[in-house]
Amino acid sequence: MDFLTHSLLPLPAVRDFQQRLSAPNLPWRDGRLTAGDHAALVKNNHQLDPNAELTLAISNCITSAVTSDPLIKSFSLVRKVHSLLVSRSSAGDSYGWHVDNPFSRHGRRDLSFTCFLSDEDTYEGGSLMIQSGGEETKEFRLPSGQIVIYPSSTLHCVEPVLSGVRYVCVGWIESYVKVPDDRSILFNIDAGARGLLARYGRSDELDLIFQSYSNAVRRLSS
Question: What is the average pLDDT score of the chain?
Answer: 96
Rounded to two decimals, the pTM is: 0.95
Please tell me whether residues 45 and 89 are part of one structural domain: yes
Q: Please tell me the predicted confidence (pLDDT) of residue 159.
A: 98
Query: Which range marks the domain in which residue 119 is found?
Result: 4-175
Please tell me whether residues 170 and 194 are part of one structural domain: no
Point out which residues pair with 144 in neighbouring strands. Answer: none
Q: Is the dihedral of CA 50, 52, 58, 62 positive or negative?
A: positive
23-29 contacts, C-beta under 8 A, 24 or more apart: 26/52, 26/54, 27/52, 28/88
How many structural domains compose the chain?
Answer: 2
- Is 90 exceeded by the pLDDT of residue 137? yes
Please tell me whether residues 107 and 192 are part of one structural domain: no
Q: Please tell me the predicted confidence (pLDDT) of residue 67.
A: 98
Please tell me whether residues 166 and 190 are part of one structural domain: no
DSSP 144-179: TTEEEEEETTS-EEEPPEEEEEEEEEEEEEEESS--
Q: What is the mean pLDDT of residues 142-146?
A: 98
Please tell me whether residues 111 and 214 are part of one structural domain: no
User: pLDDT tens digit string along 26-84?
Assistant: 999 999 998 888 888 999 999 999 999 999 999 999 999 999 999 999 999 999 999 99
Query: Residue 34: enclosing H or E segment and its boundaries?
Result: none
Closest by alpha carbon to 112, among 98, 123, 126?
Answer: 98
Q: Measure the CA–CA gap between 193 and 212, rounded to whole angstroms.
A: 11
Please tell me whether residues 49 and 140 are part of one structural domain: yes
Least confident of 37-41, 115-119, 200-204: 37-41
User: pLDDT tens digit string along 148-197?
Assistant: 999 999 999 999 999 999 999 999 999 999 999 999 999 999 999 999 99
Contacts of 131 (CB under 8 A, 6+ apart): 97, 137, 154, 155, 156
Binned at pLDDT 50, 70 and 90, residue 222 comes out as confident
Least confident of 15-24, 25-34, 127-136, 190-199: 127-136
Please tell me whether residues 198 and 166 are part of one structural domain: no
Q: Please tell me the predicted confidence (pLDDT) of residue 1.
A: 62
Residue % of the chain over a pLDDT of 70: 99
Alpha-carbon distance values, 110 to 61, 64, 140 (Å): 21, 18, 19
Point out which residues pair with 107 in neighbouring strands. Answer: 104
Closest by alpha carbon to 169, among 82, 69, 43?
Answer: 82
Least confident of 91-95, 133-137, 209-213: 133-137
Please tell me whether residues 115 and 190 are part of one structural domain: no
Please tell me whether residues 43 and 142 are part of one structural domain: yes
- Is 90 exceeded by the pLDDT of residue 8? yes
